[in-house]
Amino acid sequence: MGRPRVTVSDAGSLERSSSSEGEAAGDDASDVAAAVAGDVRAFERVYRRHVARIHSTAVRMLGAEEADDATQDVFVRAWQRLGQFRGDSAFGTWLFRLAVNVMLSRREVVATRHKRHVDDAELVESLSSVESSPELSLDFQAAIARLPPGMRQIFVLHDIEGYKHDEIAAMLGIAQGTSKSQLHRVRMILRRYLSA
Amino acid sequence: MTDAWTHRLSEYVDGELDPQTQAALEAHLATCASCRATRDELQRVVARARGMGYREPASDLWGAIETAIAANAPRPGRRLVTLSWARLAAAAAIVAILAGGFAWTLASRRAVVVVTLPLSPDTIATGVRTSASTGTAMAVASYRDAAADLERAFEAGRTTLRPETMRVIEENLRAIDLAIAQTDSALRRDPGSAYLNQYLAATMQRKLKLLRRAVEITTARS
Measure CB to CB from residue B52 to each of A83, A160, A188 and give the nearest one: A160
**Stretch A140-168: mean pLDDT, rounded?**
91
Q: What is the distance between the alpha carbons of residues B45 and A158, in angstroms, rounded to a whole number?
A: 12
CB B111 within 8 A of CB B197: no
pLDDT at B90: 61
Average pLDDT, chain A: 78
**Residues A30, A13: contact at Cβ < 8 Å?**
no
Point out the least confidently predicted range of A80-94, A124-138, B51-65, B80-94: A124-138
The CATH number that domain A115-193 falls under is 1.10.10.10
Q: What's the rounded mean pLDDT across residues B65-94?
A: 61
Contacts of B121 in chain A (CB under 8 A): none
Contact A72 B64 (CB under 8 A): yes
* Alpha-carbon gap, residue A35 to B77, rounded angstroms: 10
Domain with CATH 1.10.10.10 in chain A: 115-193
* Minimum Cα–Cα distance from B52: chain A residue: A160
- Helix axis angle, A18-36 to A91-105, nearest 10°: 70
pLDDT, residue A112, reads: 52
- The number of beta carbons lying within 10 Å of the beta carbon of residue A9 is 9
Worst-scoring range by mean pLDDT, A34-43, A75-84, B22-31, B207-216?
B207-216
- Model confidence over A21-58: pLDDT tens digits? 555 666 788 899 999 888 999 999 999 999 999 999 99
Residue A146 vs residue A96, higher pLDDT: A96
Which pLDDT score is estimated for A127? 52
DSSP label of B83: -
Residue A15 has a pLDDT of: 37
156-185 of B, contacting A, C-beta below 8 A: 156-160, 162-164, 166-167, 170
Model ipTM value: 0.76
The mean per-residue pLDDT over the stretch B202-206 comes to: 81
Residue B45 to chain A, least CA–CA distance (Å): 6
User: What are phi and psi for residue A8, nearest 5 degrees?
Assistant: -105, 120
Angle (deg, nearest 10), helices A91-105 and A165-172: 40
Residues of chain A within CATH 1.10.1740.10 domain(s) are 7-106
User: Which of A71, A173, A180 lies nearest to residue B57, judging by beta carbons?
Assistant: A71
Q: Which CATH class is domain A7-106?
A: mainly alpha
Across the interface, do B46 and A71 touch by the CB < 8 Å criterion? Answer: no
Asked if A81's CB is within 8 angstroms of B65's CB, the reply is no
* B 71-100 residues with CB < 8 A to A: 72-80
